[in-house]
Amino acid sequence: MVQSLNLLKESPSQTAGPYVHIGCTPNFSGIDIYGGDLGTTMKTGPVQGTEITVRGAVFDGTGTPLRDAMVEIWQADANGIYPGNDPRGAADPHFTGWGRSPGDMETGEFTFQTVKPGQVPWRNGQLQAPHITFWIVARGINLGLQTRMYFADEVAANADDPILSRIEHQNRVPTLLAQPDGAGGYRFDIRLQGDAETIFFDI
Amino acid sequence: MTQKGYFARDTQWHPPALTPGYKTSVARSPTRAKLSFPTSLSEETGPVFGHNILGPLDNDLIHNFAAADQSAIGPRIVVYGRVLDETGRPVPGALVEVWQANAGGRYRHKKESYLAPLDPNFGGCGRVITDENGCYEFRTIQPGPYPWPNGPNDWRPAHIHFSVFGQGFAQRLITQMYFEGDPMIWMCPIVGTIDDPKAVESLVAALDMSRTIPMDARAYKFDIVLRGRRQTFFENRAEGL
């Protein structure tokens, strides 16, 4: 026997189930207790930077969109500062950095009205390409899936990104690139399984 | 600025993505290996929620959907506990959101069609933010078990869903709380996605008669553990070990 490390174990994850909306977006599911759902608005006033809309859907291994997923995003402001607890200083006071979308009940499409994030340094100070962190939960997903959305039109920054450039299977990098939709927004579809499976991260 | 990062998740402890006994996971589980890399600011920061978002009844599911002078039907309970990280340190300011079925196992949701009736005085959601010691508490009614279309005769044990924010987005967690002594825990395919019985036991809340409110509500204790953050052991060093 050896000494105990006295560490606790993380609470194991369980699926969010089909009724995640009751707890996380109750107004969306018709329960008006809180007066509004958290995460529906990322802009609380005039924001700095370029305003964009990010749309997409989550698809299962048969190509069917999930109509009961909940997607959350976390990102820096236009200057590359995270709202809330970034040790480097204060972010845009009118930007929350965090969004939550239950997706459309028929099409599964999620929508975020946000701003294009600035560049954030990696651990060694090197700048990462602009990106948005995604977290996906749903019925059938036992542990929330983390991935990142990058911007297909940030060609130079993406080429220098410390994560994108390290991926062994470069033919999978396009699964992380949101495409301009021609209307000042971006389309980012997430595929859980199959040939075009999105890269998920074990962070 | 030092970046300390989070302890890696123990993938043997968490349920794997593909768990065929839970049928929906079959088409919703990635088949490629996940990409591992160390955390950066993108994962070590996270949204901060102030107490100003909370209403006075947000942590009282017995009353937060009820008509005036009425209350939800079912066994009245208090659920309390702490949010800690793996080093045992409390996580203050953590937003905890909960949702559940009513006493008969019926959810208030458009897509739910179980024949057990809705309780007109029960909505089924609540939320609370942990105090400076990581403590939280809410009151509710004990949910009933409910049948679900997985196997031909599968029933969920009584459970309350928990969504928890830590201080970094890397700590984000959704899980479920079960109740001490429920024989259905060990039959459930969703519980069964977890391999280690000790991990399952860590999701079973203990009946705590010492916190029971006599003639009012019984109490269950449910502590939640989020990923630990690496320490810098010598503060005069630029980087942690």
Q: Are B219 and B207 in contact (CB under 8 A)?
A: yes
Kindly report which listed range (A15-19, A144-148, B111-115) carries the lowest average pLDDT score: B111-115
Place of tokens 């994850």: A13
Rounded Cα gap, residues B222 and B81, in angstroms = 5
User: B12, B17, B15, B13: which is closest to B27 by C-alpha?
Assistant: B17
pLDDT at residue number B3: 53
Nearest residue of chain B to residue A12 (CA atoms): B14
Beta partners for A121? A127
Which of B28, B47, B173 is the closest to A140 by Cβ?
Answer: B28
pLDDT at residue number B239: 47
- The pTM is what? 0.96
Strand ranges in B14-142 using DSSP code E only, listed in sequence order:
35-36, 76-85, 95-99, 125-129, 135-141
Q: Report residue A191 as tokens.
A: 């595929």
Q: What percent of chain A has pLDDT over 90?
A: 91
ipTM reported for the complex, 2 dp: 0.96
**Torsion on CA atoms A101, A102, A108, A110, rounded to nearest 10:** -10
The number of beta carbons lying within 10 Å of the beta carbon of residue B166 is 22
Q: Average pLDDT of A118-136?
A: 95
pLDDT at residue number A35: 86
Residues of chain B scoring pLDDT < 70 = 1-3, 231-241
Catalytic residues of B: 107, 146, 156, 159, 161
Residue B127 to chain A, least CA–CA distance (Å): 8
Residue B218 to chain A, least CA–CA distance (Å): 23
Which of B10, B37, B193 is the closest to A163 by Cβ?
Answer: B37
Does residue B105 sit in helix, strand or coil? coil
Residue B209 to chain A, least CA–CA distance (Å): 24
Residue B216 to chain A, least CA–CA distance (Å): 24
Interchain contact, B200 vs A166, CB within 8 Å: no
A-proximal residues of B, 35-94, CB under 8 Å: 35-43, 45-49, 53, 55, 57-58, 64-65, 84-88
Query: B199 touching A, CB under 8 A?
Result: yes
Query: A14 touching B, CB under 8 A?
Result: yes
Interchain contact, B47 vs A74, CB within 8 Å: yes
Q: Average pLDDT of A166-172?
A: 95
Interchain contact, B46 vs A128, CB within 8 Å: no
- Does A173 have pLDDT greater than 90? yes
B-proximal residues of A, 35-74, CB under 8 Å: 35, 38, 60-62, 64, 66, 68, 72, 74
Tell me which DSSP letter residue B60 carries: B
Rounded Cα gap, residues B127 and B54, in angstroms = 8
φ, ψ for residue B53 (rounded to 5)? -80, -15
Interchain contact, B108 vs A138, CB within 8 Å: no
Nearest residue of chain B to residue A138 (CA atoms): B28
Interchain contact, B174 vs A20, CB within 8 Å: yes
pLDDT in tens, A1-12: 899 999 999 999
B-proximal residues of A, 17-36, CB under 8 Å: 17-24, 26, 29-31, 33-35
Q: Which phi-psi region, left, alpha or beta, contains residue B156 (left: φ > 0; alpha: ψ -120 to 50)?
A: beta
A-proximal residues of B, 152-181, CB under 8 Å: 161, 163, 167, 169-170, 172-176
pLDDT at residue number B231: 65
What's the mean per-residue pLDDT of chain A? 96
Q: Are A190 and A137 in contact (CB under 8 A)?
A: no
Interchain contact, A10 vs B10, CB within 8 Å: yes
Tell me which DSSP letter residue A121 carries: B
